[in-house]
């Protein structure tokens, strides 16, 4: 049962990554492409890490994989927002300075 659950999580994670990659090919605008990458970092990679942690069983490796999943799920969207804001400031779409 554990192996089947890991396979389902792995399949879902790979599907999210493939859909994100496909959307990069289809979308032309840079901000839309940046938006399309968010599911890969906030959902795809954590699902794959959860699948690997489930497959390895309890132990240090599983804890490390869960930490990677948590870090990716929180840092990915923040990084995407920072890159988008920086690009918008360079293009003059948003005022320079910290967000208000």
The string of pLDDT tens digits covering residues 42-55 is 889 999 999 999 98
Query: Quick one: tokens of 64?
Result: 């490390």
Delimit the domains of the chain by residue range: 2-90
Contact 43, 49 (CB under 8 A): no
Token look-up 């990659």 returns 21
pTM: 0.78
Count of alpha carbons within 13 Å of 8, Cβ hemisphere only?
A: 5
CA of residue 72 relative to chain centroid, distance: 6
The string of pLDDT tens digits covering residues 43-96 is 899 999 999 999 888 889 999 989 988 998 888 888 888 888 888 787 777 777
Cα-only R_g, the chain: 17
Q: Exposed, middle or buried by CB within 10 Å (0-12, 13-18, 19+), for 51?
A: buried
């Amino acid at each position: 049962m554990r192996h089947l659950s890991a396979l389902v999580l792995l399949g879902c994670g790979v599907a999210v990554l493939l859909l994100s990659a496909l959307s990069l090919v289809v979308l032309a605008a840079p901000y839309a492409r940046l938006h399309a990458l968010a599911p890969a970092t906030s959902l795809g990679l954590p699902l794959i890490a959860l699948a690997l942690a489930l497959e390895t069983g309890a132990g240090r490796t599983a804890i490390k994989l869960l930490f990677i999943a948590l870090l990716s799920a929180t840092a990915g969207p923040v990084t995407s927002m920072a890159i988008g804001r920086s690009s918008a400031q360079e293009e003059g779409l948003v005022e320079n300075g910290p967000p208000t």
